[in-house]
Structure 1
Amino acid sequence: MLKNKFNFLFSLSGLLTLLACLPVLALIWTALQGDSEIWGHLLRYVIPHTLAETGILLLGVGILTILIGTGSAWIVTAYQFRGRAFLDWALLLPLAVPTYIIAYSYIDILHPIGPVQSILRDGFNLELQQFWFPNIRTVWGGIFLLSFVLYPYVYLSTRAMFLMQSASLIEVARTLGLKPDQVFLRVAIPLARPAIAVGTSLVLMETINDIGATEFLGIKTLTLSIYSTWTNQSDLASAAQIAIFMLMIITLLVLVERLGRRKQRYMNSAQRSRLMPAQSVKGLKALVLLGVGLIPVCIGFLIPTSHLLVESYKRIQYAGFSDFLLQASINTLILASLATIVTILIGFFIVSAARFSKHNWFSRIASLGYAIPGTVLAIGLMLALGKIDRAIADFLEFKLGIHTGLLFLGTSFTLIYAYAVRFLAISVGGIESGYNRIHGVFDDAARNLGQNNFALLWRVHLPLLRPAIISAALLIFVDCMKELPATLLLRPLNMETLATQLYAEASRGTYEDGAVAALLIVLVGLIPVILLAKLGKTTR
C-alpha cells in the first residue's frame, strides 16, 4: 500500500514535469513542420539584424552589470564607512523596478518636452530646435537603463561570495605587497568568478526575455521579432522558428558559461575561517565611496520612482483613480494569486517526490522554464493548447454533437499555466532549500511512529517548510504581477493587468495615465526586496 502511494506521488511528479515541458515540445514540433522558404526569408532579412542588436544589447548589459554589481558588492564588504549599512540594502532597491518601467519612466523624463530638457532649455534660454540632447531610444540607451535595474542580480551573488572569502587569503595578499585595488582584481575577483557568472546569467536571461523596454526604446531584438511576427503578421509558424533559434542561443550561452567553469575549483578550508575584515575609512574617501554606491540606487530606483510618484499624484488629483485601472488591479491580484498557489503546489509535489526517491532530475527539468523567455513560452503554449482544443472540440462535435469552441486558449487558464511554467524554478528552488534544512532524522522518527509518506508530508514536512514556501510564494506573486510578454500574448480578450495597462498607455504615448499602474507595480515589487534585505542581515 505504501509503495503504491509512493508510486502515485512519483507518477504525479513526472506528469507535472511533462506538462511543464509541453510548450517547448510543441514549439520544436511546429518549427520542424514549418515552411523552409519562410525560414530562408527569416535567415536573410529578419534574423541577422535582430541577432546583431540582441547580441550588442546582451554584451553591453552583461559587461556593465558586472562592473556595477561587482564594484558595489566590493564597496559594501571591503570597507567600513558611515552610511554603509544603508547602502548595503539600498543597492537592492532597483530589483523592484521592472525593465519596462524604467524605460517608460526615463522616456518621459528625458522627452523633448519633459522635465530635464525643459529645465536645460530654460536655463540656457534656447528654443526647442536649437537644443541637442542625447537620444535615449537607442541600443546604447537600452544598455544603460537595463544595466542600472538588473545589476542587483550580480550584486547579490557576488556580495555573498565576498562575505564568504577567508580573511587569511586577503591578509596573505596584502603581506605580499599587493595594494587594495590589486587585491580586488587578482584575489577577490577570481575567487568570486562563479558568483559573478551566476548573477550575469540571470541578467542575460532577464534581458533576452524583455519585450516592453526594448519596444519602448526602439531596439529590435529576437524577442520583439517573435512578438511582432505573431501579432502583426499572424504567422505563428515563423514565430515558432524564431523562438527555436533564440532557445538555441540561450542553450549555447548556458553551455559556454558552464564549460568555462568546468575545470575551476573554488573552496574554503574545512575549518571555520575568519570572514574578510572590512577596512575602516573616513573623511573624503568615505564620502566618495558612499557617493559612488548611491549612483546606481539613484538611477535605478530613486529617480524613476520619484517621477512616478509625482505623475501619479497629478493624475489622481486631476481625474481620480480610473475604473479601468481598478479593474486591471483586481485582475492582476486574482491572476497572480491563483498562479502562485498552482506554482507552489506543483513545486511541492515535484520536490517531495525527489525527496523520497533520492532523484532530483524531475525538479531539474521542471526548472528549465525560467530560462525560457515569456514570449517563447507563450508561443509554445498557443501551439500545444491549440491542438488540444481542436482535438477535444472535434471529438465532442462528432461524437456528442456539442459545439464547444476553444476551451483553453483565450482563457485565464492558459495565462496561469504560462506563469506556473515560467516561475516553477522559484518554487522548486525555494522548497528545495527548505528541505535541505530538514534532517533525515525527522523522516525516520515519523516512520518509526507509524506515519506513511503522505502523513509525513502533511504533519512534518509542510509545517517545517512554511517559511520557505511563504518566501517563494511572495517572489512568484510579484514576478507574476510584473510579467509582460506572456501576458500580452495569452490574456483573455478585454482583460487587462497592470503590466498590460501600462504597456497600452505607453504605446499610445499617454504616459501620465500609465504612471499610476507603474507605481503600483513598483510598490508591490518592494516586498521581495525587503525580504532579501532582511535575509542578508540574518545570514551575516
Structure 2
Amino acid sequence: MGERTLAALAWIVAGICVTPMAAAAIAALLGDLATWRGLIDTVLPVYVRNTLALVALVTTGAIAVGAGGAWLVTMFRFPGSRALEVMMVLPLAFPAYVLAYAYTDLLQHSGLVQTWLREITGWGPRDYWFPNVRSLPGAALMFVCVLYPYVYLLARAAFAEQSATAYLAARSLGRGPTAAFLRVSLPMARPAIAAGALLAVMETIADYGTVAHFTVRTFSTGIYQAWFAMQDRAAAAQLALCLLGFALLVAALERIERGRARTHLRGARLATLERTPLAGWRAWAATAACLAPVLVGFLLPVVVLGRMAVRSAQSVTDPRYVDFVLHSLTLAGIAALVTVAGGVLVGHRARSAPGPATRAMALGAGLGYAVPGGVIAVGLLVPFAGLDNAIDGFMRARFGVSTGLLFTGTIGLLVVAYMARFMAIALNAFDAGLAAVSPNLDAVARTLGRSAPQVLTGVHLPIVRRSLLTAGLIVFVEVMKELPATMIMRPFNFDTLAVQAYRLAADERLDQAAVPSLVIAAAGIVPVILVCRAIVTRAAA
C-alpha cells in the first residue's frame, strides 16, 4: 500500500464522516428564514443557556474526577489502589440514560430514599425540602458519573508513560508532591486530559435520553422534538447546524488554548516513577476519593437496577435476550475495528502532511460525535436511499433486473453511521498517543528511506497501540449503548439491547427496562476490565 493509497483512503473516510453533517447543513441553509427567526425569538436562547451550563458542569466534574483519580492510582499506593485502578473505569459501561432511570427510581418522592426519610422523621410531604434529581444539575451529575472515565483512561495512560526525571527534578528542588504534580506532571499530560474532556463535552451536547428524561431543554431535545414530534425537518436541520457550530467552536477553543505547547520524550523513558505509599488519614482519603465515583456511577445503580429487575419478574435467560446480546456484540465489535482503522488513516494523514486541508479533514471527520445519532442516521439515509434508487432504476432500464435496497437497512450502513458518530474517539486517542513524540522522529525515519506506510506501521502504531486499544474499548462500549441511529437504521428484526430498553422505558415499564439495561452494563464490563488490566500490565512492564 503506497502513500497515495493511504491519502486517498483517509480522504474517503473523512468524506463519509462529513456526509451526514453536510446533508443536515444543506437542508438548514435551504430552510425558510422565518423558521430561523422563530427559533431565535422562542427556544434558541433556552437551548444555548442550558447547553452551556451542562458543558461547564460536566467538563469541570469530569476533569476533577478523571484526572485526579488517574494521578492517585498512578503515583500512590493506598488500600485498594490496585483494584480501584480498574474499578474506576466501570461506569463507562453504563449509558447516562440508564443512570437517570435508576436515580429517578431511587430519589423521587415515592423512591426508597425519601420514603425512608419520612418514616424515620415522621415528616409529611411538605415538611422538608429534597433536591430534585430531574433537573439540570441532576443531568450534569449523571453525565459526570459515566463520562469521567474518558478523562481517566487517557490521563492514566499519559501519567504512566511519563518519565520520572522531570517529576523527581521538581521534588529535588523542594517542590512537594502536589506542587510537582501541578507544575510538571499535569502540564505534560494536558493533551490527553484535554482530549478526554473534549470527548465528554461532545457526548454531553449530543445526548438525548438523559436530558429528555430529566426535562432539560437542550439543542438535542429541540432537534428530536422538531424532527419527530413536530415533523418540522427544516427547524430540526437548523438546530442541528447550530449544534455543529457549537461543536466546532469547542474544538477550536481547545486547540487555541493548547497553543504551541508540546512535550516530547527524549529517547527512552529513562526511569518510571515508583508509587509512593500513603499512610494514615491520607491513605484512606485517597481510597475514599477513588471509591466515591465508582460507588455513585456503578455500584449503587447496579443495586437499584437489580432491585427493579427483580420486581419486573423477567428472566435474563430468555432466548430473545440472547439474540439482543449477539446483535449488540456483533455491531459493537465491527464498528470498533472500522472506526479505529479509519481514525488511524485520518490521523496519520493529518500528521504526515500537515496543512490547512488536512487539519480541516481531521476536524470535520471528528465533528460527528457532537451530532445526535438520529441526525446522522437521516443524513446517511437520504443520500444512500437516493443511490439505491438510482442503481435500481439503472439496472431495471438496462437489464430488467431489480436490485432492491443495496445499502439502506443493512448492517454495513449502520456501521458507517457508528463510524461517523464516534470517529472523534479514535482521532483524539491517536493524537494524544503521538502528542509526546517529536515530529523529528518522523523526519529521521523518512531520511532513512522509510515510506509513509512504513512510518505508520513501524513507528506510529507501536507507540500509540495503548491509546488505540483505549479508543477501541470506548467505541465498543459506546456502540453497545447507542440508541437513536440504531433504531432508525437497523435491519428488519435486528433489535439490540439499547432498543429493547428504550421501548420498555417509553411504555413507562421502567422495571422491565432494567433487565436489558443491566445486560448492556454486563456486556460492557468484560472488555472494560480486560483492556484496563492490559493497560495497567503494560504500564508496569
AA matched with 1:41:
G
1:208-248 deviations in whole A, cap 9, x for unaligned? Answer: 22111111121111112112211101222221111111111
Correspondence for 2:511:
512
Q: Pairwise CA RMSD of aligned residues?
A: 4.3
1:242-391 correspondence to structure 2 within 5 Å: 242-270=239-267, 272-316=269-313, 325=321, 327-336=323-332, 339=335, 350=345, 361=358, 364=362, 367-368=365-366, 371-373=369-371, 374-389=373-388, 391=390
Correspondence for 2:48:
51
Change (3 A) 1:327 1:190: closer
CA distance in 1 between partners of 2:224 and 2:469 (Å): 34
Report if aligned partners of 2:316, 2:515 keep a CA contact under 8 Å in 1: no
Report if aligned partners of 1:344, 1:473 keep a CA contact under 8 Å in 2: yes
CA distance in 2 between partners of 1:146 and 1:469 (Å): 24
AA matched with 2:35:
I
Is 1:23 matched with 2:20? yes
CA distance in 2 between partners of 1:331 and 1:156 (Å): 27
CA distance in 2 between partners of 1:258 and 1:515 (Å): 40
Larger C-alpha radius of gyration, 1 or 2? 1
Is 1:110 matched with 2:99? no
1:538: Cα distance to partner? Answer: 1.1
Moved more, 529-538 or 358-367: 358-367
Is 1:139 matched with 2:128? no
1:62-73 correspondence to structure 2 within 5 Å: 62-73=59-70
Correspondence for 2:82:
85
Change (3 A) 1:430 1:173: closer
User: Matched residue of 1:539: which SS?
Assistant: helix
Change (3 A) 1:413 1:45: farther
1:87-486 correspondence to structure 2 within 5 Å: 87-128=84-125, 130-270=127-267, 272-316=269-313, 325=321, 327-336=323-332, 339=335, 350=345, 361=358, 364=362, 367-368=365-366, 371-373=369-371, 374-389=373-388, 391=390, 408-409=407-408, 412-424=411-423, 476-486=475-485
1:371-428 deviations in whole A, cap 9, x for unaligned? Answer: 3422442242243334435555666788889898876555555433312322456677
Correspondence for 1:533:
533
CA distance in 2 between partners of 1:199 and 1:471 (Å): 11
Change (3 A) 1:502 1:30: same
Change (3 A) 1:382 1:36: farther
Change (3 A) 1:414 1:131: farther
1:492-535 deviations in whole A, cap 9, x for unaligned? Answer: 57753211221232233211101111111111111332112321
AA matched with 2:539:
T
CA distance in 1 between partners of 2:155 and 2:9 (Å): 37
1:131: Cα distance to partner? Answer: 5.0
Moved more, 150-159 or 471-480: 471-480
> How many residue pairs were aligned?
522
CA distance in 2 between partners of 1:347 and 1:165 (Å): 24
CA distance in 2 between partners of 1:412 and 1:33 (Å): 31
CA distance in 1 between partners of 2:477 and 2:193 (Å): 25
CA distance in 1 between partners of 2:331 and 2:88 (Å): 30
TM-score when scaled to structure 2? Answer: 0.81
CA distance in 2 between partners of 1:319 and 1:268 (Å): 54
Report if aligned partners of 2:328, 2:497 keep a CA contact under 8 Å in 1: yes
Change (3 A) 1:511 1:484: same
CA distance in 1 between partners of 2:89 and 2:219 (Å): 29
1:310: Cα distance to partner? Answer: 3.3
User: Matched residue of 1:265: which SS?
Assistant: coil
AA matched with 1:420:
M
1:151: Cα distance to partner? Answer: 1.1
CA distance in 2 between partners of 1:46 and 1:8 (Å): 47
Change (3 A) 1:199 1:379: same
Moved more, 131-140 or 247-256: 131-140
1:300: Cα distance to partner? Answer: 1.0
CA distance in 2 between partners of 1:175 and 1:110 (Å): 50
User: Matched residue of 2:306: which SS?
Assistant: helix
CA distance in 2 between partners of 1:408 and 1:166 (Å): 49
1:335: Cα distance to partner? Answer: 4.0
AA matched with 1:59:
A
1:100: Cα distance to partner? Answer: 1.7
1:319: Cα distance to partner? Answer: 6.1
Correspondence for 2:489:
490
1:338: Cα distance to partner? Answer: 5.4
CA distance in 1 between partners of 2:130 and 2:152 (Å): 31
Report if aligned partners of 1:95, 1:152 keep a CA contact under 8 Å in 2: yes
Change (3 A) 1:16 1:114: same
**Structure 1 residues not aligned, in runs of 5+:** 448-452
Moved more, 156-165 or 204-213: 156-165
Report if aligned partners of 1:482, 1:521 keep a CA contact under 8 Å in 2: yes
CA distance in 2 between partners of 1:402 and 1:42 (Å): 47
CA distance in 1 between partners of 2:222 and 2:244 (Å): 14
The sequence identity of aligned pairs, in percent, is 34
TM-score when scaled to structure 1? Answer: 0.81
1:81-132 deviations in whole A, cap 9, x for unaligned? Answer: 2322122222111111222222222112212222222222222234445454
Correspondence for 1:450:
none
CA distance in 2 between partners of 1:68 and 1:307 (Å): 23
AA matched with 1:486:
A
